[in-house]
Structure 1
Amino acid sequence: MRKLLEGYKNSHVEPKMRLTAGDELMLVISFPDEVIIINEEMLLSCIEEKDLDYEAIPRAITC
């Protein structure tokens, strides 16, 4: 996740992040061209493994 955020930071784009709690905990990261949603299971595995599979993250492309 750090590499992902650093990549956007290097391009001078600051993501907007928020933590939501509904039926399950989710981290929503909004960029100008996409929205990345990381669910509770992925957050916990990221913490345990200290790594995040960027390709496995569900996302929506915004126009």
Structure 2
Amino acid sequence: YRRYITIYRHLKANPEFQLYPIFKYFENWCQDENRHGDFFSALLKAQPQFLNDWKAKLWSRFFCLS
């Protein structure tokens, strides 16, 4: 999510890089991604058994590297 916000801020500060009209809607898309992140965060906090095994650690590494 932070990556998308960084891109959004860069495009807002430098509108000459907004090559495609779709970037006009980028802010709404970033907010939508934030809501998805909040939902999954709440879901995982409500079910901690999914956070404390070796599979969770592998998934965490995968998402951090991607």
TM over 0.5: no
Q: Which has the higher helix share?
A: 2
Based on CA coordinates, which of the two structures has the bigger radius of gyration?
2
